[in-house]
Amino acid sequence: MSIKASANSEISIAWGNGRIIKHLFHTESYMNFVNHYSKRKIPLDGKRFNVEISAENPYCSIIGFYMGGDMEIVDLDVSNCLELEELNSYSYGNPLDLSRNVVLKYLNCADNGLTSLDLSNNTALEVINCSRNRLSHLSLTNNFCLKELNCECNEMERLSIGYAPHLREAAYEDGNHIDEATKKQIQYIIAENAENMD
């Protein structure tokens, strides 16, 4: 598990097994907490974790969170990471609450078994990969900054995209049941944006 934090951020990680790890980032940088702290023999409960991540000062804090595929987090709470800009999440089936992460720009929550995903507060999102979940619908009507979308392989029946002047790539047809009118709307948006960029 890697975390990117801004300078002078003290990050707390509660692993759900009674252990709380704190680390002070002196400069903006990344740190791999599992590898770094497992060398110090801090016990972790196998590869399944209930993790809560927070910062002493949420306005000078975590700006990136990255999960490797070899580790399963069964519950991830990033609600106190108010400056979070990037999130790679592997939380396997539990709801992902991003309602307070309003500056989030990059989201990869593919292969999580999610049945719902509320991104209505995440108006800064530019890249979304929520493919290979179990989403029946996805609403992106508030995501005006969206540039890239991958929501394939969800068995999805409804996809709503609002004003999206920056959208240039969208993968949504494979493994979904999107109606033709929506497909044409998305194709039109992408084509018009491409013309405007020329």
Q: What separation in angstroms does the CA of 142 have from each of 38, 164, 195? A: 41, 9, 23
User: Is the model's pLDDT at 173 over the cut of 50?
Assistant: yes
Question: What are the structural domain ranges in the chain?
Answer: 2-197
- Rounded CA gap, 20 and 137, in Å? 37
The CATH code belonging to domain 2-197 is: 3.80.10.10
Per-residue buried b or exposed e for 79-109, using 16+ beta carbons within 10 Å of the residue's own CB:
bbbbbbbbbbbbbeebebebeebeebbbbbb
% of the chain surpassing 70 pLDDT: 60
Question: Which amino acid, one-letter code, is at 18?
Answer: G
Question: For 28-61, what is each residue's pLDDT tens digit?
Answer: 666 666 533 333 333 333 333 445 454 444 443 4
- At 164 the pLDDT is 95
Instruction: Tell me phi and psi for residue 15, to 5 degrees.
Output: -80, -5
CA dist 42 and 29 (Å) reads 22
Q: Taking residues 111-135, report their average pLDDT.
A: 94
